[in-house]
């Protein structure tokens, strides 16, 4: 199969799903916009669900690689987390359609049905890489899974704000300010214990 054509279908479908939603975007509309037949679309993706999930996989792999390239060892937990924070937000600003799709997919029933080993493996590698760079020695982390959800939610809020306010004068200052809100909200470990 033609990789360029597959990528074109994924990008076309992603933009249409972002604009109209999953249910209001029939495969016939995707095929028409991509200038292919419905049969060709189904040669690449056996169902609409597979197409929807394939877009998610492609975005997760792309975003994970981007984040990992930005992570490097810094001097403190705060520096490490800030650089990860900045990389993720910058990716969202650079790829707003992909960011929007991730948000929509994550809140959809398709996420609950989704099981893809390749994506899960990529996500786990990303998470392990973050953990290597950010040890959280200054806080007590009793519920590490919740901590990732908390950070992820704050990241999405900051990214969404920047995407929705493209004329913001100083994006870097906002990224630092949003990070400080997160950082200051993490419970400081009581050293006297």
Whether residue 97 sits in one domain with residue 152: yes
For residue 15, the enclosing domain spans 1-46
pTM of the model: 0.80
Please report, for the domain that includes residue 3, its CATH number. 1.10.10.60
List of long-range contacts for 125-129, beta carbons under 8 Å, 24+ apart: 125/64, 125/68, 126/64, 126/67, 126/68, 129/67, 129/68, 129/71
Domains contained in the chain, number = 2
- Please indicate, yes or no, if residue 57 is contained in any of the structural domains: no
In this structure, the answer to whether residues 72 and 144 fall within a common structural domain is yes
Say whether both 81 and 175 belong to one domain.
yes
Inside any domain, residue 193? no
Q: Percent of the chain scored above 70 by pLDDT?
A: 75
- What confidence tens digit (pLDDT) does each residue in 55-95 have? 998 998 888 777 666 666 656 767 777 888 888 899 999 99
Domain assignment present for residue 22? The answer is yes
Q: Domain check: are 37 and 102 in the same one?
A: no
Q: Are 94 and 19 found together in one domain?
A: no
Question: Looking at the structure, do residues 42 and 67 belong to the same domain, yes or no?
Answer: no
Write the pLDDT tens digit of every residue in 153-185: 899 999 999 999 999 999 999 999 999 988 887
Kindly state whether residues 80 and 15 are assigned to the same domain. Answer: no
């Amino acid at each position: 199969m033609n990789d360029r054509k597959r990528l074109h279908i994924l990008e076309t479908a992603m933009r249409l799903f972002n604009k109209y939603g999953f249910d209001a975007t029939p495969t016939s509309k995707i095929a028409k916009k991509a200038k292919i037949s419905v049969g060709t679309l189904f040669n690449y993706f056996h169902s609409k669900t597979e197409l929807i999930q394939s877009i998610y996989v492609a975005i997760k792999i792309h975003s994970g690689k981007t984040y990992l390239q930005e992570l490097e060892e810094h001097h403190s937990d705060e520096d490490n987390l800030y650089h990860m924070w900045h990389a993720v937000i910058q990716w969202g600003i650079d790829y707003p359609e992909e960011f929007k799709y991730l948000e929509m997919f994550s809140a959809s029933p398709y996420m609950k049905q989704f099981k893809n080993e390749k994506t899960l493996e990529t996500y786990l590698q990303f998470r392990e890489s973050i953990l290597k760079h950010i040890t959280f020695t200054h806080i007590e982390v009793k519920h590490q899974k919740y901590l990732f959800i908390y950070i992820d939610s704050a990241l999405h809020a900051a990214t969404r704000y920047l995407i929705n306010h493209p004329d913001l004068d100083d994006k870097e200052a906002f990224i630092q300010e949003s990070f400080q809100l997160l950082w200051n909200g993490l419970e400081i470990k009581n050293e006297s214990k």
